[in-house]
Amino acid sequence: MPTALITGASAGLGRALAIELAGHGWRLILTARGAERLEQIAAELPHPASVTTIAGDVADPEHRARVVNSVNQLGRLDLLVNNASTLGPTPLRPLAALSPTELSNVLAVNVIAPFALTAALLPALSAASGVVLDISSDAAAEHYPDWGGYGASKAALDHLTLTFGVENLDIACYAVDPGDMRTDMQQAAFPGEDISDRRPPAAVVPALLELIQSRPPSGRYRADDVAVHSAAGAAVTA
């Protein structure tokens, strides 16, 4: 049974992808900090018996060790989705108003955690000729006022992703800019604003499935640029 680990799976894009993969018969390992919301999403999935939930912070090395152990016990990993992320302190503020500790905390979640999980899980991913999907942002490539800490972390994430890709030719590594989505993170970035014009995260999932299915060369992709074929998802069916 194809197996995926998704961080930040209790809301937004991670949750939407978990729902879709579960519908295609994947076994899932799901993480997020809040146990209650995580259990709730697991219970809503079509095959709860095929879902393992591990609540914890991806920035915590002990939590990551538990996650890696769980993967190794299952003995298979086809897809690692590094999706959990933080904006840092909100409302967002100019770079100079960010303390070194605050920037360090952003890097711990958005860079160190995906790096550590990917490095630890490379053997399992290689054995399955698997895929690493790192969720990036347009802020990795553009320079917006107040987005400097988050943007720097996503630029670093892109670099790590693409380097893992060229160093490990038996797996595929994608840094994907999903575009704006109507989620808690988007609302936190734009407090008080009406974000109802942003697309729901489920609208981005077909592009992610297309990458997993069609397996283009490792690299950075914008979800909007991924041509989704109607069969997207078929090849990721168990």
- Check binding of 112 to ligand NAP (CB under 6 A): no
CA distance 105 to 201: 25
- Check binding of 181 to ligand NAP (CB under 6 A): yes
Nearest distance, CB of residue 188 and ligand NAP, angstroms: 7
CA distance 5 to 3: 7
Question: Which helix H or strand E contains 32, and what residues bound it?
Answer: strand 27-32
Rg (CA), the chain: 17
Applying CB under 6 A, the span of 2-10, 46-54, 167-175, 216-224 interacting with ligand NAP comes to 2-10
Interface with ligand NAP (CB under 6 A), residue from 106, 135, 152, 223:
135
If one counts every other C-beta atom within 10 angstroms of the C-beta of residue 96, the result is: 6
CA distance 194 to 78: 38
By beta-carbon proximity to ligand NAP, the closer residue of 39 and 57 is 57
Enter the tokens of residue 137. 């942002």
Interface with ligand NAP (CB under 6 A), residue from 17, 67, 80, 84:
84
CA distance 33 to 54: 9
Under a CB-based contact definition with an 8 Å cutoff, are residues 31 and 54 in contact?
Answer: yes
By beta-carbon proximity to ligand NAP, the closer residue of 59 and 172 is 59
Interface with ligand NAP (CB under 6 A), residue from 21, 58, 68, 132:
58
- Check binding of 33 to ligand NAP (CB under 6 A): yes
- Check binding of 111 to ligand NAP (CB under 6 A): no
Interface with ligand NAP (CB under 6 A), residue from 19, 24, 37, 72:
37
Residue 20 DSSP label:
H
Interface with ligand NAP (CB under 6 A), residue from 68, 109, 205, 209:
109
The count of residues interacting with ligand NAP (CB under 6 A) is 31
CA distance 25 to 1: 8
CA distance 86 to 83: 10
- Check binding of 8 to ligand NAP (CB under 6 A): yes
Site residues for ligand NAP per CB under 6 A: 7-14, 31-34, 37, 57-59, 83-86, 109, 135, 137, 178, 180-181, 183-186, 201
